[in-house]
Structure 1
Amino acid sequence: MSAVEFEPYRGELVAFCYRMLGSFHEAEDMVQETLLRAWKARDRYDPARASMRTWLYRIATNVCLTALEGRGRRPLPSGLGTPDHDPEAELTPATDIRWLQPFPDGRFDTESRADLRLAWIAATQLLPARQRAVLVLRDVLEFTAAEVAEQLDTTAAAVNSALQRARAALRDVDDAAAVGEPADPEVRAVVQRYMAAFEAADVPALVRLLAEDAVLEMPPVPLWYRGSRDYGRFMERVFRMRGQSWAVRGLTANGQPALAAYAPHPGGGHLLHTLQVLTVAGGRVTHNVVFADPGVLDTFGLPPHLPAG
C-alpha cells in the first residue's frame, strides 16, 4: 500500500470533515492528519474486514471527534440573536467567535447537494458531535448502520437511535426541497439579475429580487437583518460608503450560487470586497451570507484586484 492510493478519497474526506467541523481550513488539516495516521497504520489495514474507503472514514471520524472535544459550535450571526433594524449599526467584527465558513466548490469535485448548504451545516452544528457524525455517515455517505457502529465503536441500535434524533432536529431546515440548484434556469436568471443590480448599485432592483423575509448576514460581524426593507436600507449604506459601479463575478459555494463582489477603487479597477452565498427559492433571493474575512476569500482563490476595463 502506498500513500498514492489514499489520494482519490481526499476530496470527499475534506467535504466530510467540513460537514463535521464547519471550517474548510480545519477540514483540510483533519484530512492531512487522517492520511498521516492511515499511512502509519497501513500494515494493520485488513481489506477482508473493511474497504479502504470505510477504513479511512473511520480514521477521519475519530480525528474529527477528537478535534471537536470541548469546542462550541460554529454559528452564523442569525443563530446567535435577534435581527438588527439599524442600517447604520457599527460593523464591528466579533473575532472571539469561531464562525461557520463557506465551502469552495471549485477546489474539489463535489456535487451540488443539500447537505453542503450553509443552512444545513449551521443546523448540524447544533447537534452533539457523535450524533452529527452518525447523520453524515448514514444519510449523506450512506454507510450502513453496522458500518457506522464499527466506525464509532458502538452498536447498530445506538446508531439508529442517534440517527432518529438527528433527523428530527433537522426536519425543517431551510425547506431544502424548495431551494433551487445553481444550474436551474430560474435560479440562474434570478442570480444574473441580482448581479446586474449589484454592479449598478441599484437598490430598488435588488429589493425587487428579494423574498419579503429575506435574511442578510455578514460574519464576522455579528449583526444581521431580516426583511427586504432592512436589507435594502443596509445596501443603500454600503453603496453610499463604497461607491457605485461595482464588478461582480459568479461562482458557487456550498452547492449554492455565489458571487464575488469587487468595490470600485479610486486608483482604478476594483478591489475584492466580499464573497456572497445566495439561497434562491420561489424565484426570489431568500438568504445572503456575506463573507469578508480575508482568510475565507483566500480559500476561494479570488483575485484581489480587477484592472480597469
Structure 2
Amino acid sequence: MDFEAHRGELTAYCYRMAGSFHEAEDLVQETLLRAWKARDRYDPARASVRTWLYRIATNVCLTALEGRARRPLPSGLGAASDDPGAPLQPAMDIPWLQPFPDARCDADTRAGLRLAWIAATQVLPARQRAVVVLRSVLEFSAAEVATQLETTVPAVNSALQRARATLADAGGMDEIAEPDDAEAQAVIDRYARAFEAADVEGLVRLLTDDAIMEMPPVPLWFRGSDDYGRFMHRVFEMRGTGWTMRGLTANGQPALAAYPADGRLHTLQVFTVTGGRISHNVVFADPGVFEAFDLPSRIF
C-alpha cells in the first residue's frame, strides 16, 4: 500500500484541523506510522485506503486537540486598534494561527484552506470541525464520516448543521470558494510595486475602505484604509525605503515576502482580494513561519 501518495492531502487536512503547518506535519507522520503498524488489519472490502487513512488521521487530530485552545488571529481576540503608533510587542504565549505553504500540496487539495475560513473553523469544537471539513471540503458522505468518527449518520448531520450555522454567523462559509486568481494577482502585483516604492498613497488606493491588517505574533490589528495607511507611514519611517517584494502563494491566496533594504526577510504577507481591492492582509513575522515556506533569510 502506497501511504506516501496521500501525504500532501493528509497534511492539508491536519492543517485545517490544527491551524498549524508544523503541527500538521507531525500529525501526518503519526497517522502514517499508525497506518503502517495496522496495515495487516486493513480490509479493502470495508473502505478504500484513502478513507481508512482519513479515519486514522481524524482520530490522531482529535486526540491531539483534546483540551487544546484554538489558534486565533489578532482580529479574533478583541477590538481593532485606533493607534497606528502603538507598541509592536509580540505575544509569544498565544498559539497563533499559521499560514499554509501551497508548495507543500497539490493544487486540487487546496479548497477550504483560505485563512479566514481556517480562522472561523477554529472556534468550532474539534469534532464539529472534523465533520465540516470532511463533509463540506473533502466531500465524504455522511455514512463515511460517521464511520470515521465512530458515530451515527444523524449525529453527523446534526453536527454539520450546527457547524454551518456557526460559520454562517461569522461569514465563514463564503470563504470556501476561491477568488479569480488572475484578478487577485494583478492587484497584488500593483501592491508590490507601490510597497517597493514606499508609496503609501498608492497602497491605500488598492485597499477597500474597511481593509484589515493584522500582524501575528503582535496582537494588534487595524481596520480601515486610513489607519492602514498611517501604519504603513510608520513602517517606512522605521525601516526605510528600498524594499524588495517576492511573490508566492499561501492558503490558496496571493502572498508576498517582504525584504527591506538590508536584505533580511521581514514579513510574509497573505492577502484577500475582494472586488478588485485588498480587503485583508495578514502579516506574519514569526521565523517559524518563514521556515515552513523555505524562504531565504537574506536575498543579498
Give the TM-score band, short-chain normalised.
over 0.9
The question of whether the paired residues in 2 share the 8 Å contact of 1:179 and 1:281 is answered with: no
Give the deviation of 1:175 after TM superposition: 4.1
Aligned counterparts of 1:178 and 1:30: Cα–Cα separation in 2: 26
Determine the C-alpha separation between the residues in 1 that align with 2:177 and 2:13.
Answer: 24
Match of 1:104 in 2: 101
Q: CA deviation at 1:104?
A: 0.1
Residues 214-265 of structure 1, C-alpha deviations (whole Å, 9 max, x = no match): 0000000001000000000001101100010100000100000000000111
Determine the structure 1 residue equivalent to 2:67. 70
Cα deviations by residue, 1:263-283 (Å, 9 ceiling, x for unpaired) = 111xxxx11100000000111
Measured in 1, the distance between the counterparts of 2:288 and 2:274 equals 29
In structure 2, the partner of 1:280 is: 273
Report the equivalent of 1:305.
298
Aligned pair partner of 1:193 in 190, 194, 198: 190
**Following TM superposition, by how much is the alpha carbon of 1:106 offset from its aligned partner in structure 2, in angstroms?**
1.0
Specify whether residues 287 and 179 from structure 1 end up closer, same or farther in structure 2 by C-alpha distance, changes over 3 A only: farther
Q: Take 1:247 and 1:165, find their aligned partners in 2: how far apart are those partners?
A: 45
Find the residue that maps to 1:296 and give its secondary structure: helix
Give the structure 1 partner of residue 248 of structure 2. Answer: 251
Q: Indicate the larger mover: 170-179 or 50-59.
A: 170-179
Distance 1:20 1:11, change over 3 A: same
How many pairs does the alignment contain?
298
2:213 aligns to what?
Answer: 216
CA shift, 1:187, in A, is 1.5
Residue matched to 1:29: 26
Render the CA deviation track for 1:57-113: whole Å, top value 9, x for unaligned. 000000000000010100000000000011111111101100000000012213375
Shift of residue 22, structure 1, vs aligned partner = 0.2
Unpaired segments ≥5 residues, structure 1: none
Shift in Å, 1:14: 0.2
> How far apart in 1 are the matches of 2:276 and 2:178?
10
Match of 1:173 in 2: 172
Instruction: Tell me the amino acid that sits aligned with residue 273 of structure 2.
Output: V
SS at match of 1:260: strand
Distance 1:66 1:220 in 2: 26
Greater alpha carbon shift after TM alignment, 293-302 vs 105-114: 105-114
Please give the secondary structure, in 2, of the residue aligned with 1:188.
helix
Aligned to 1:191, the other structure's residue is in SS state: helix
Correspondences of 1:47-66 after superposition (within 5 Å) = 47-66=44-63
Q: 2:131 aligns with which of 134, 139, 143?
A: 134
- The structure 2 residue matched to 1:146, chosen from 143, 146, 153, is 143
1:175–1:154 CA distance, 2 compared to 1 (3 A)? closer
Q: Tell me, what secondary structure is at the counterpart of 1:306?
A: coil
| Gap runs ≥5 in structure 2 | none
Residue of structure 1 equivalent to 2:201: 204
Measure how far apart 1:199 and its partner are. Answer: 0.7
SS in 2 for 1:111: helix
CA contact under 8 A between 1:83 and 1:226: conserved in structure 2? yes
| 2:111/2:137 contact within 8 Å kept | no
Secondary structure of the 1:116 match is coil
Identity of aligned residues (%): 73
SS in 2 for 1:244: coil
1:179–1:279 contact (8 Å) kept in structure 2: no
The alpha-carbon deviation at position 208 of structure 1 amounts to 0.5
Structure 1 match to 2:232: 235
* TM-aligned CA deviation for residue 127 of structure 1: 0.4
1:11-66 residue CA offsets vs partner (Å, 9 max, x unmatched) = 00000000000000000000000000001111111111111001000000000000
* Matched-pair contact (CA < 8 Å) for 2:129–2:163: yes
Q: Distance in 2 between matches of 1:18 and 1:112?
A: 12
The TM-score normalised by the length of structure 1 is 0.94
CA apart distance, 1:180: 2.5
Aligned counterpart, 1:92: 89
Conserved? CA contact 1:200–1:244, under 8 Å: yes
Deviation at 1:176, TM superposition (A): 3.5
Contact persistence 1:105–1:254 (CA under 8 A) = yes
How many angstroms does 1:179 deviate by?
6.5
* Aligned partner (choices 120, 125, 135) of residue 122 of structure 2: 125
